[in-house]
Amino acid sequence: GGLPNADGVVQLDASCMDGKTYNAGAVAGLENIKTPASVARLVMERTDHVMLVGRGALEFARSFGFEEENLLTERARQAWLRWRERLSDSDDWGPPDHLRGGDGDSGRLLEGPEEFHYGTTNVLAVDGNGDISGITTTSGLSWKIPGRIGDSPIIGAGLYVDNSVGAAGATGRGEDVIKSCASYFIVMRMREGRTPQQACEDAIDMIVDRYRAIGNDFVPGEKFVAINKAGDYGCARMPSGGNASITVRHGGGLETYEGSSRG
Ligand code: GLY
């Protein structure tokens, strides 16, 4: 159900990292394979590489028996068609110029709701031995320029795990997460003694401060999540989009944790 790129093609990114073995794998720009995190795991476990992209990632997945399928759902295709028509009033998509804006149906742009712009999932885990692992998986920024890679498959940006400290992951605007090496930053803050919640907030503040340092009030839209070796967790997000919340699974079952919104 992820949204496609500007050409209407779903391109997926994913990464995984295993703290116990200090090992990582990732795929980027992967088309036609529904489970990119599983492919990233095979890159981690069955090769001496960390990241495969595009055609190479697809051939790699096929070699392990993954089946290709069309990932563009009808709902996502309809959203892409609406985006294409609304993108500009000076291109040729949409009603002909002489009918545009008229009262008749044939003069109207396609109608429908605005859709979300990211579709990323982080999963971070610590087991009973204190071993830590994580994945981040996404269809990325909707309507992205074909070939654009986000933060999710980049170890240190969309995901980082240090078995002696904890793990962190990111969702939201990947460009900022890449520039700030945010997941690595969060784990290093925890190494310095910050709680997962504090470390996530530190990453938000760091990014906002960097824009302010160049005289710009731009506040991007990211959310960070972190756990430490003891099983403590936290999350924080930029103010756009409401409060931060994550789902926590532990011995007692499932619960929702509300983090903080700052920036
Ligand atoms: N965080 C997902 C992306 O920017 O692609």
pLDDT in tens, 27-37: 999 999 999 99
pLDDT band at 236 (very low <50, low <70, confident <90, very high): very high
pLDDT in tens, 38-96: 999 999 999 999 999 999 999 999 999 999 999 999 999 999 999 999 998 889 999 88
Distance 142 CA to ligand 1 centre (A): 9
Choosing from 118, 178, 222, 225 the residue with most ligand 1 atoms within 8 A of its CB, the one to mutate for a pocket test is: 118
Region 155-168: mean pLDDT is 98
The pLDDT score that the predictor gives to residue 109 is 86
Phi, psi of 187 (to 5 degrees): -65, -40
pLDDT in tens, 196-235: 999 999 999 999 999 999 998 888 889 999 999 999 999 9
- Which two structure tokens, joined as six digits, stand for 249? 């699974």
Confirm if 191 and 226 have CB atoms less than 8 A apart. Answer: no
The pLDDT score that the predictor gives to residue 100 is 82
Report the C-alpha gap between 39 and 50 in whole angstroms.
Answer: 11
Which residues touch 85 (CB under 8 Å, ≥6 apart)? 93, 94, 109, 110
In angstroms, the Cα distances linking 193 to 107, 128, 163, 166, 258 are 61, 22, 15, 11, 22
Report the C-alpha gap between 15 and 28 in whole angstroms.
Answer: 9
The sign of the CA dihedral 236, 238, 243, 248 is negative
pLDDT band at 108 (very low <50, low <70, confident <90, very high): confident
Residue 145 has pLDDT above 70, yes or no: yes
Which residues touch 51 (CB under 8 Å, ≥6 apart)? 15, 25, 26, 27, 28, 43, 153, 154, 155
Ligand 1, CB cutoff 6 Å, lining residues? 118, 120, 138, 140-141, 150-152, 171-174
Residue 104 has pLDDT above 80, yes or no: no
Phi, psi of 58 (to 5 degrees): -65, -45
Please report the beta strands in 6-154, taking only residues with DSSP state E, as ranges in sequence order. Answer: 12-18, 23-30, 51-53, 120-126, 132-138
The pLDDT score that the predictor gives to residue 23 is 98
Say how many C-beta atoms besides its own lie within 10 A of residue 126's C-beta. Answer: 23
The pLDDT score that the predictor gives to residue 191 is 98
pTM (two decimals): 0.94
Tell me the CB-side half-sphere exposure of residue 260, using CA atoms within 13 A: 15
Report the C-alpha gap between 128 and 231 in whole angstroms.
Answer: 9
Residue 103 has pLDDT above 90, yes or no: no
Q: Is 120 a catalytic residue?
A: yes
Distance 10 CA to ligand 1 centre (A): 13
- CA nearest neighbour of 261 among 191, 188, 205: 205
Region 128-145: mean pLDDT is 96
Report the C-alpha gap between 2 and 30 in whole angstroms.
Answer: 13
SS3 261: strand
Choosing from 138, 139, 207, 222 the residue with most ligand 1 atoms within 8 A of its CB, the one to mutate for a pocket test is: 138
Residue 242 has pLDDT above 70, yes or no: no
Task: Bin 8: left if φ > 0, else alpha if -120 < ψ < 50, else beta.
Answer: left
Residue 142 has pLDDT above 80, yes or no: yes
Confirm if 228 and 165 have CB atoms less than 8 A apart. Answer: yes
